[in-house]
Chain A
Amino acid sequence: MVNLIQMIVSGIAVGSAYALMGLGMVLIYKASEVPNFVQGEMALAPVFISYLLMNSYGAPVWVAFAGALVFAMVLGCILEFAVLRRAKDPNVLGLIIITIGLEMILLGLVSWKFGADQRSLPFPISSYDSVVIGNIFISTLDLLTLVVALVIMTILFLFFRFSKLGVAMKATQQNEIAARLMGIRTNRIKMVTWGISAMVGSVAGLLAAPVIMEPFMMWDPMLKGFAGAVVGGMTSLPGAVVGSYLVGVIEHLFGGYVSIEFKSVVAFVVIVIVLCVRPSGLLAKHYIKKV
């Protein structure tokens, strides 16, 4: 029984990172209508920038993190502005390939500039401390990630509900032409969406970096976040979150009770099942055909 609870707790802990990546992907999907495969690397580059700030410039942790977030915002905006928008009359497949290409470029740049040796980010909270309740443990860092993820989700919710920019973003996502007619600068909105998505993703990266940092570190969370977003519905923000936590928990339960070897595969099996049963995802509105 203890093991079961522990597995669920660990699954939730791990799901937070997936949830942040999933959120980022859904944000972009709703705005630019493309599954964004450069999500992982948009999160990766700011992490290395913060490492650079801390190591070469001796900046304190909070300054480095703030710098990383600013860099993420700028990076997201630049990617949308300079690359995606320039695609001439693209279809979805073309856009996906563009994002994959960007992913390879960013990954290569980070590997080349920083070298591929593993490192770890200095962080005030040790990644090896844990909070133990009874027999259940959760590492302090995982707990922090969970709290931060929930805070970010709340902020995003309030932002979309109550702020002018947030409402404008929702309008752009729902009906771009109508939004334009209402005077919303949709191009700028899309740019900002990418920036916000990169920032959300980089938070996940920054909280994973204290354990270990290497150019390939965001690959796994991105895929699982994508899986979570598909499960929850690519057009639903709460769906991405719920889906990602679900993926995390199912993964851990599967690993504990069935087979550790195929633990990672289970996330993708879940995608297939959900797509067969409820193609739009668990929490999204079911569209028969988008007119």
Chain B
Amino acid sequence: MKRFAAIMIISAALALCFGTAGMCEVGVTDTEIHIGQWGPQTGPAAPWGAVARGTDAYFKMINAEGGIHGRKLVHHYFDDAYNPAKTVAGVKQLQEQEGMFAWVSGVGTATGLAVKDYLMENKIPWIGPSAGSRHWVEPPQKYLFNVYPFYMGDAQLLCQYAVETLGKKKIAIAFQNDDYGKQGVEGAEYQLKKAGMELAVKVPVNVADTDMIPHVMELKKAEADAVLLFVTPGHVARIIGTGKAMQFEPTWMSSSTCGDFPLMMAITKGLSQGMITASFGLAEPTGHVGEVQLLDNPVQKMVAKYKTDAFDKFAAQDERYGYTFLAGIGFAEPLVEAIRRCGKDLTREKLVKELENMQNFKGVLGRINYKPFDPKDPTCRLGQGEVFLQECTENGGSKILTDWVKTVYLPSKAE
């Protein structure tokens, strides 16, 4: 009898849960939209914690302007310390206890991969992963929309510029020993093959390595006159510094992850001047090639607006206004725009539809395009497929070297 009563009570409770859930989309009420994000607020990748804080300030700015169709964006972001196990725990907890409508950004390839299957199986939209891994679009997932332009595109444009404009003969690469670095290698090899060249040497770098002397010795031995650095900003600083001490000073080039020139100038004590990196936005190249732009350049009106309305008003006291913070805004812009386009009646399916119809949406990053879902075509969820090149000037400004260039998506080679 007792057991029968227990079963009846549990069934009734479950029925109530499912009954009420059917009434509204998960994570959406009449007044709120719940969006989740993970990020490394502590730990080895903590400098990138600014991404989630940037999104937070952006959402607060939107709420201050009245929200979207009368709803406020509630941003739930937690610290996963760049540890995939914590990402899984945090995502599951937020999703199952609070119920997120969608997930935005999220720094890290390994961290994102840990939760990708869970989110996709539960048909939860995830927009703008903060990492340029090919895993987001291979195979393409209906609910996963990439924004970050892939690193291989950076490598392609850098090599093209090095060969065609700078006339470099021996291009080498120091690459982080993971998908980020390997994309750099593939992009470089693809582009150099077109010019009938090869990489002079490929030097792998482990993330935990602090001593770059052997790596620079290899690069010097190969007599490279241009070196691609697909590593973290900390390693770039060490490599350039060791290179200077070894009297080895080629043209240093890097991916968009090291495009934060004020930071680079600070940590390299000025040695990064002249470094060329790819950039995914936060400056306006079209019509301004050859100019020097800083973050507060008058061309970028949107960036200026974010500075006054999001950063100045809502960012923490000692937050640094920079690339990473703004990237957090850039990755969230497509999601916000898609929510706007859905109108008052907001569901996940509608969100997906609006995103698929997005053509040439321009925020502070480059143009973002999606297509209706095709499981065989990675570009249907590619997002931004263009980058431009910038050079670091003596006060941390960006000299625009090229306009936006569309790069080629290279599928992963079968292992």
A-side interface residues toward B, CB under 8 Å? 3, 6-7, 10, 13-14, 108, 111-112, 115-120, 126-130, 132, 137, 139-140, 208, 211-212, 214-217, 219-221, 251-252, 255-256, 260-261, 263-264
Contact = CB atoms under 8 A, between A and B. Distances in A.
Contacts of A220: 208-211
Contacts of A129: 245
Nearest to B322: A117
29 contacts: A3-B221, A14-B211, A111-B42, A111-B43, A115-B320, A116-B42, A116-B43, A118-B233, A119-B267, A120-B237, A120-B269, A126-B269, A128-B244, A129-B245, A211-B241, A212-B237, A212-B238, A217-B210, A219-B208, A220-B210, A221-B210, A251-B211, A255-B215, A256-B214, A256-B217, A260-B215, A261-B204, A263-B214, A264-B206
A118 B267 contact: yes
B214 A118 contact: no
B234 A214 contact: yes
Nearest to A137: B246
A261 B206 contact: yes
Contact of B238 (A111, A211, A261, A263): A211
A11 B350 CA distance: 60
A197 to B, nearest CB: 21
A115 B204 CA distance: 28
Of B49, B203, B245, B267, chain A has the most CB atoms within 10 Å of the CB of B245
B208 A130 contact: no
A72 B65 CA distance: 50
Contact of B245 (A127, A260, A261): A127
Given A7-B217, A116-B42, A260-B218, A137 B247 contact: yes
A275 to B, nearest CB: 22
Interface of B: 42-47, 49, 177, 203-206, 208-211, 213-215, 217-218, 221, 233-234, 237-238, 241-242, 244-247, 263, 266-269, 271, 318, 320
B214 A260 contact: yes
Contacts of A126: 269
Contacts of B43: 111, 116, 216
A119 B203 CA distance: 25
A111 B221 CA distance: 38
A130 to B, nearest CB: 4
B204 A118 contact: no
A115 B318 contact: yes
Of all A-B residue pairs in the complex, the 4 with the closest CB atoms, nearest first, are A116-B46, A255-B214, A139-B245, A130-B245
Contact of A137 (B203, B233, B245): B245
A155 to B, nearest CB: 26
A187 to B, nearest CB: 34
B267 A10 contact: no
Nearest to B221: A3
Contacts of A261: 177, 204, 206
Contacts of A264: 206, 208-209
B105 to A, nearest CB: 18
Nearest to B266: A119
B234 A212 contact: yes
A143 B217 CA distance: 18
B375 to A, nearest CB: 35
